[in-house]
Each structure stands twice: as C-alpha cells, then as structure tokens.
Structure 1
C-alpha cells in the first residue's frame, strides 16, 4: 500500500462560500460516535475497493455538520 498525504477540506461557516484545505480537524465525540464513524469509514473503504466508480458518501449521523468521504 502506498502512503499518501491525507487531504481534509471544509467550509468556515454554513454559507459554503470558499472550500478550504484544512491542516487539522478535531472531532468532539463520545465512544459510541467514534465507533459509528469508524464503521462508516470502513464501509467507505470496502465500497471503494469493490466499486471502481465509487465517488463519495455522506455520513448521516453527524447532526448539524456534514461529514463526507470523497475518493481521491
């Protein structure tokens, strides 16, 4: 497996004006949420492996924030 730099993008506010490349992201979550997000990332990885046309998936358990995995 080739090591690649992780790229993280986000918006400063809900107005979605300028997509920013972020250096750091912090999740304020509990153990149950961490497990659910971990399962989401694993599902995305499996889907990417099984489907070369897979592009992205939205996590629907993040409340008022958007968590999106996008294939690079």
Structure 2
C-alpha cells in the first residue's frame, strides 16, 4: 500500500492548477446538499454531462453569465 502520493501526478496537478490560475480561473470548494449531489451524479450517469465539473460550470454560467434578451420585437 502506498502512503506517499505519486510525485509525477502531484506535479501534473500543480501544473494544471497553475495554468488555470494564469488563464484567470478560480478554484472554489463548495459544500452541496445530498439532493444536488444526486442530481449531478444522475446528469453524468445519463450522459448529459461528461463530468460533475462540467455540469457545475454549466449551471454557474447559466445563472450568472448568460443574459436572456427580454425585449419583445
């Protein structure tokens, strides 16, 4: 049994985080209720999203970034 993390994996994760920070991304930990976790798992299991991260990012973009055009023509 390994007690020490694989150094190459740790370095790769460190490089990924650095490149994302440099690109302006921010890492955030959020506690979610079980019902939200279950919905995320279902969305991934049914193929709606590839990963939980992708599902969470889509939800955040939908709520905080996308602006619907509320004007009538």
| TM-score, normalising length: structure 2 | 0.30
The structure where helix makes up a greater share of residues is: 2
Normalised to the residue count of structure 1, the TM-score between the two structures is 0.30
- Choose 1 or 2 for highest CA Rg: 2
Q: Which structure's residues are more often strand, by fraction? A: 1
**Structure with more contact order per residue of length (Cα contacts < 8 Å, sep ≥ 6):** 1
